[in-house]
Amino acid sequence: MLRVAMKQALSSAPVIACRMRLPAWRGALGVGNFEAPRKSFTAGSGFSHFKQVLAHLRETCPAAKPVIVRTSWLPNGNLGECIRRPERFVIRLCDKLNEIMAVETLLHEWSHALAWNFTLDALARNPHVDREKFEAEAHGEAWGCAYSRVWREFLNCP
């Protein structure tokens, strides 16, 4: 299940955050287990496949604005989030993810960066927008097409 949160930035530009949660069925199957906390798996040694996928996405699926990927503590089992800032997108990934889940979450959130459009921006600016309407739009046709593109590129990753 995915939960979308909308927050107003300090400036007049909205911040759009999609928060990806671990589906209940994944935990029941033992898929997506967390490892011990780490400072950041995007720097240092290890997670070489993740870094390779990230570099491939930067080259083959650039977003309209620069995409910054960070690891962070995220509350309540959130796996990742994509936040649109005025000058860039920030993808935050849970710092306890194993490499397989980190790649899967990166693909989901990268798709949000590709699919951002003015409709989402307008919805985020509206303080009375229904969260379910926003979530449906955030995971609508544009996101589905972007997710398909990202997955195709992932499958072609060396």
- Write out the DSSP string of the chain: -EEEEEEE-SSSSEEEEEEEE--HHHHHTTTT------S-SSSSSS-HHHHHHHHHHHHHS--SS-EEEEEE--STTEEEEEEE-SS-EEEEEETT--HHHHHHHHHHHHHHHHH--HHHHHHHH-TT--HHHHHHHHTSHHHHHHHHHHHHHHHT--
Distance CA(1)–CA(22), nearest Å, equals 7
**70 bridge partner residues:** 92
| Total number of residues shown for the chain | 158
CA distances from 70 to 80, 120, 134, 144 (A): 10, 23, 24, 24
Please, which residues have CB within 8 angstroms of residue 11's CB and are 6 or more apart in sequence? 86
Q: Which amino acid type is present at position 107?
A: L
- Residue 126 CA to its chain's centroid (Å): 22
* pTM beyond cutoff 0.85: no
pLDDT in tens, the chain (158 residues): 233 344 443 344 444 556 666 665 454 444 444 544 455 666 666 789 999 999 999 999 999 999 999 999 988 778 999 988 889 999 999 988 889 999 999 999 999 999 988 888 888 788 888 878 888 888 899 999 999 999 999 999 98
Distance CA(44)–CA(61), nearest Å, equals 24
